[in-house]
Amino acid sequence: MDLNYSFEQAQYREGVQRFVARVLTPLVNDKYDFSRALTREEIARLRADIAGHEIATEPPLDENGNLDLICLGIFMEELARLRIGLVSLATALFFPVWDLGGLLKDGQVDSYGHMFAPGEMVAMGMSEPNAGSHIAGVQTTARRDGDEWVLNGSKLWTSHATIAAGIIVLARNLETGRVSLFIVDRKRRDYHVEPVKMMGFDSISTCAVSFDDFRLPSDAELTPDKGGLRTALSFIEQGRLRLMFMAVGVAQAALDLAVDYAKVRTQFGKPIGAFQLVQDMLADMAIHTETARLMAYRVASQMMTGEPCRKTVSIGKAYTTESAVKVASLGVQVHGAIGLTTECAAERLLRDARMLTIPDGTTQIHKLTIGRELTGLDALQ
Ligand SMILES: Cc1cc2nc3c(=O)[nH]c(=O)nc-3n(C[C@H](O)[C@H](O)[C@H](O)COP(=O)(O)OP(=O)(O)OC[C@H]3O[C@@H](n4cnc5c(N)ncnc54)[C@H](O)[C@@H]3O)c2cc1C
């Protein structure tokens, strides 16, 4: 077992760090306003600004041509240190992070392939006002009417619905009674969308979307056979890995900021970093950040083997995201009152970290998954 990065992985990290420092940081800090949701036009301009940089446009692949999840993790972690929204928008800004387009069958590629073109993103509409953790309880319905589907229902917390090319919607197929995935192409017909003001993730929109007798073409069902729910859950599983690397990046950013501040802020005639209790906070931050990082790369490595990894994913998602909250909160504490002001990045990092323990399975749901894997007893049945 080798827990060190390979030479290539270390080089890749250095390349990403250079790109973030030289290219992305000035764009994020000076050219674009990341304090509110970016628009489609801004995303397209930002994409054009970074187009000449190979590291930002070429996905890291393994020897079999699949996404190398360790390098992808490095990429996401380094971006999250700058702004978490860059990771959330990665498919639109850089390269396809998840293969949602792989859901399209032959005939559907002609109709919907444009939604997965470079620079586009497709949102995932699963959660609803009355179906959050219990995703199988979705109440949105798809009814067949002649050559069309008629969609009715509301989705909530749909990330990126304002800027997306469309949404993959989880709905109950009233013909089969099964939960299935349907693709909504915004170019054919736009949906009603309202951004919801959230605590963190300032640069992306989290939305309420409603479908009222919303007509879709006959080929809009992506999972006509069984498996709609399983497919949805497999995308949620990939999303969990992304959240783990966001958590590690946010924690590292909070730690870096706190260390820098502890060296320059003086009280009682000394830098505060010289006090043992401040070092205790910094050490706790470092312990949580480093263990979260190990956990995230362990999950990525296991996912790449194709082995079942439900328990590891749940341990990783729960641990890394809760750690990010702890680290970012200590980061504010190290700063004192200035850490609570909107001028200080520590405040933003805490707000962003706090967003991570809820999506793609809350910490409690992951604990129940771990408990089930350990005991064979399912608390959710
Ligand atoms: C930033 C962000 C982005 C998101 N993006 C998307 C997206 O793009 N697409 C999408 O479909 N959804 C998205 N979501 C929704 C997210 O997946 C849900 O918020 C999540 O599944 C939890 O559902 P809920 O918020 O309704 O909470 P609930 O399920 O109502 O849970 C409320 C509380 O009860 C606890 N709880 C629930 N059931 C149990 C149980 N059986 N045992 C113990 N405790 C329990 C939970 O842990 C939580 O503490 C996003 C959410 C956030 C915060």
Q: What is the pLDDT of residues 202-227, one digit of tens each?
A: 999 999 999 999 999 999 999 998 78
**Residue 359 in contact with ligand 1 by CB distance below 6 A:** yes
Cα dihedral value 4, 6, 10, 15, nearest 10:
-150
**Spacing, Cα 126 to ligand 1 middle (Å):** 11
Q: What is the pLDDT of residues 104-114, one digit of tens each?
A: 988 899 999 99
| Residue whose CA is at the smallest distance from ligand 1 atom 29 | 133
**Residue 157 in contact with ligand 1 by CB distance below 6 A:** yes
Share above pLDDT 90 across residues of the chain, in percent, rounded to a whole number: 91
**Spacing, Cα 266 to ligand 1 middle (Å):** 42
What pLDDT is recorded for position 144? 97
Q: What is the pLDDT of residues 309-323, one digit of tens each?
A: 999 999 999 999 999
**Spacing, Cα 304 to ligand 1 middle (Å):** 27
**Residue to probe by mutation, ligand 1, list 362, 366, 370, most atoms within 8 Å of CB:** 362
- d(Cα 343, Cα 335) in Å, to the nearest integer? 12
Q: What angle do CA 209, 214, 218 make, to 5 degrees?
A: 125
What pLDDT is recorded for position 88? 97
**Spacing, Cα 208 to ligand 1 middle (Å):** 14
**Residue 246 in contact with ligand 1 by CB distance below 6 A:** no
Structure confidence at residue 275 as a pLDDT band (50, 70, 90): very high
317 Cβ neighbours under 8 A, 6+ residues apart:
240, 243, 244, 360, 361, 363, 366
- d(Cα 18, Cα 262) in Å, to the nearest integer? 26
Closest CA to 257 of 292, 278, 282: 282
> Is it the case that residue 1 has pLDDT exceeding 90?
no
What ligand 1 atom has the least distance to the C-alpha of 129? Answer: 26
pTM of the model: 0.97
Structure confidence at residue 100 as a pLDDT band (50, 70, 90): confident
What pLDDT is recorded for position 225? 85
> Is it the case that residue 359 has pLDDT exceeding 90?
yes
**Spacing, Cα 364 to ligand 1 middle (Å):** 10
Q: What is the pLDDT of residues 6-19, one digit of tens each?
A: 999 999 999 999 99
What ligand 1 atom has the least distance to the C-alpha of 379? Answer: 41
What pLDDT is recorded for position 226? 79
CB atoms within 10 A of CB 33: 11
CB atoms within 10 A of CB 195: 15
What pLDDT is recorded for position 53? 96
- Tell me the two tokens of residue 8: 């290539």
Q: What is the pLDDT of residues 139-165, one digit of tens each?
A: 999 999 999 999 999 999 999 999 999
What pLDDT is recorded for position 227? 84
The β-bridge relationship of strands 166-173 and 122-125 is parallel
**Spacing, Cα 358 to ligand 1 middle (Å):** 5
Domains and CATH numbers, the chain: 7-98 (1.10.540), 105-221 (2.40.110.10), 230-375 (1.20.140.10)
Closest CA to 169 of 127, 110, 109: 127
| Residue whose CA is at the smallest distance from ligand 1 atom 24 | 132
What ligand 1 atom has the least distance to the C-alpha of 155? Answer: 11
Long-range contacts of 189-198 (CB under 8 A, 24+ apart): 189/214, 189/215, 191/161, 191/167, 193/158, 193/161, 193/162, 195/37, 195/162, 196/156, 196/157, 198/355
**Spacing, Cα 360 to ligand 1 middle (Å):** 7
Q: What angle do CA 265, 269, 271 make, to 5 degrees?
A: 30
Phi, psi of 109 (to 5 degrees): -60, -40
Cα dihedral value 168, 170, 173, 179, nearest 10:
130
What residue type is assigned to position 284 of the chain? Answer: D
Could you tell me which residues are beta bridge partners of residue 123? 167
- d(Cα 195, Cα 209) in Å, to the nearest integer? 9
* Cβ pair 173, 179 in contact under 8 A: yes
